[in-house]
Chains A and B, each alone.
Chain A
């Protein structure tokens, strides 16, 4: 894995997700770029690195921007770990698996936040919020996860050259 590019990608995704996307007037809707990134990494690298990166990015976002510190870190960490369950179980070319995993993780994450908002005294109308916010956000996040997965797969991993493939095959 290209570690330097991974570090740059983490910074760029963090900036886009927490600074740029929040300044866009999308009527409260937002694609969760960090979640898409973490889930994609989970599918490509496994549970541990994805959970660690999700935890770090979530915690940084919580500290700098969010009201409840730790909630985002928890959801991203668990999402990374859950996405890692698909590691090496499907072809890396499969775009449906990360997108579907991302949609499920996003659905759970929004419900966790809704519960936290309920605890803080908000009374969000469930079905209205589900239709007007959660579902559009899931679609956006899933779509971005496909793009993010394509990026991660091609940019973060060195291509396996023919010579190396033959060598590996011989070893097997």
Chain B
């Protein structure tokens, strides 16, 4: 008992070192560290806001007790105004970015044709590698139904699989159980695209298959779009770009790795295609 107790700090330290090494190892590939800010910010922001407001309240109270001259009151008023405008500036910047994203998304939806869309926000993600699911904040009350395609400004995200009253689950196109009928934009060849299983080197990639050899000259850089065959996804939605081309195991067809056009880790707003005004889906 005594021995274990005396080893406790060492165990905690070793655990902390191991964890830090693991995190350092996985973040070594990237020079920028926005996720660290995101992660720390997500945890600390509520506490920080509370602590900031509480400490400000106390210090304001104490200051007001001693600051009684007109100049002091004027400085205090101007400081408050300044803080208000600084906050306003941050809010405007945030709204500007959001506006830009939404404008891009709507422009993209408009370019697809006469489809009616409903906008929503991503409020959750599945954990683990086995399934790729997003939770969005619109559901049955907004006219969402299972099977509806989901897009964003960069292209296809996936389709709605479960619908609640005010939320829906979207199975992402990179989920290994999802298959999408696709077309190579340059050659107009039809093929199929499916999610690849997310082991470390293929995480978030797609596999293109069923493209016969000899009939096509697929090259890295080719853009893959939805073909509209099957009726699930409308024609012409961008899926991604070919990064690697190879023959399949029996050399009867061409397989390719496709980098999705959507950054699935950073989706914030989505558009659910709820119906078509004239065009068949």
Contact = CB atoms under 8 A, between A and B. Distances in A.
Contact of B177 (A22, A91, A117, A150): A117
B135 A91 contact: no
A44 B210 CA distance: 54
B1 A61 contact: no
A66 B133 contact: yes
Interface string A75-117: 0000000000000000101110000000000000010011011
Contacts, number: 123
Given A143-B15, A146-B15, A128 B126 contact: no
B124 A124 contact: no
Interface stretch (A26-34, A47-55, A156-164): A26-34
A20 interface: yes
A126 to B, nearest CB: 11
B277 interface: no
B129 A25 contact: no
A147 B171 CA distance: 34
A117 B130 contact: yes
Contact of A143 (B19, B131, B197): B19
A5 interface: no
A33 B173 CA distance: 27
A95 B125 CA distance: 32
Contacts of A125: 197, 199
A116 B43 contact: no
Interface in B146-171: 161, 167, 169, 171
B39 interface: yes
B124 A18 contact: yes
Given A64-B167, A146-B11, 15 more contacts: A24-B39, A25-B35, A28-B199, A28-B203, A65-B126, A65-B127, A91-B1, A91-B4, A93-B5, A93-B8, A113-B128, A124-B176, A125-B199, A143-B19, A144-B19
Contact of A19 (B42, B128, B200): B42
B88 interface: no
A30 B22 CA distance: 11
A23 interface: yes
- Contact-residue bracket for chain A: 35 or more
B198 interface: yes
Contacts of B38: 23
A38 to B, nearest CB: 15
In order of increasing CB-CB distance, the 8 nearest A-B pairs are: A122-B176, A67-B131, A120-B177, A121-B177, A28-B129, A117-B130, A113-B130, A124-B197
Contact of B197 (A23, A25, A68, A123): A123
21 contacts: A20-B43, A23-B125, A24-B39, A27-B203, A28-B199, A64-B124, A65-B124, A65-B133, A67-B126, A91-B1, A95-B4, A117-B177, A123-B197, A124-B176, A124-B197, A129-B199, A139-B18, A140-B22, A143-B18, A144-B19, A150-B12
A65 B133 CA distance: 7
B46 to A, nearest CB: 10
B131 to A, nearest CB: 4
A128 B200 CA distance: 9
A150 B135 CA distance: 33
A24 to B, nearest CB: 6
B130 A150 contact: no
B11 A95 contact: yes
A151 to B, nearest CB: 11
